[in-house]
Amino acid sequence: MKKMKAIVKENEGKGAQLKEVAIPTPKEDEALIKVLYSAVCGTDHHIYLWNQWARENVKLPQIMGHEFVGEVVEVGKNVSRIKVGDIVSAETHIFCGRCKQCLTGNHGICRFMTLFGIHTPGSFAEYTVAPEKILWQNPKVIPLKYCAVQEPLGVALEGVLAEDVSGKTVLITGCGPIGLFSIAVAKASGASKIFAADIKEYRLSLAKRVGADEVINSKETDLVKTILDYTNGDGVDILIECSGSGKALRQGLE
């Protein structure tokens, strides 16, 4: 049995282990992928810390990681779209394809959804397996390290493009990775003015670099008053909440 190195969450409590485990064998509808880059998500941090969310959602042992890029080295007999040699990334949602949500095109809210890297072995390993239906082929012109964060970029695309932002004012609260991607997507989609709010100056500096027109430290400034001042009392057309903070959501709606 061939072995590989993987980061495994084995025990309850803080921490994870670097271990040798068996290289997985792809099922009929799966591909075996040699992982080239894997990014760290906040979800991985939750699992590492073993907080309440992790305790309620993750069964041990678990190979962590779900943001990655890799090269397909083997495919199951029912795989047709993905080929050996393809450079792929994966979306996290493993959908059933049969429930009402899936049949109406809403795979992201599949009734029976499982999550790659949370309910299945993930990408903090030399090799991983994933169903063909969640794999996306990357154009060769995109640098590999950028391909590794296609999954969080997809989250931002889904959120920002839920409405037409072209020519509209946008407030993005929370300038972590998803918020920063959202700023870039809103900018590329033609938003007329982008406001970004966070409580950390470093994140606000990144927000400015990726396209925010105005940045606001909501810990030091009254966010609602500042936005109303910037917009002559009109407020913004669109709010994109990326912090997970109830306070930020309430402020944004105001």
Would you call the peptide bond into 61 cis, given omega within 30 degrees of 0 as the criterion?
A: yes
Find the catalytic residue in 45, 46, 93, 226. 46
119 is catalytic: no
**Which residue, 4, 148, 122, is CA-closest to 64?**
122
CA distance 200 to 48: 23
CB under 8 Å to 11, separation ≥6 — which residues? Answer: 60
128 is catalytic: no
**Which residue, 92, 61, 58, 86, is CA-closest to 72?**
86
CA distance 72 to 74: 6
Phi-psi category of residue 71: left, alpha or beta, with phi > 0 → left and psi -120 to 50 → alpha? beta
First to last CA, the chain: 59
For residue 18 the two structure tokens come to 């670097």
Find the catalytic residue in 43, 92, 120, 128. 43
- Give, for 55, the enclosing helix (H) or strand (E): helix 52-57
For 211, how many CA atoms within 13 A lie in the half-sphere containing its CB? 19
For residue 139 the two structure tokens come to 């154009």
- State the maximum Cα–Cα separation within the chain, in Å, rounded to a whole number: 68
Give the 3-state secondary structure of residue 193: strand
Which are the catalytic amino acids? Answer: 43, 46
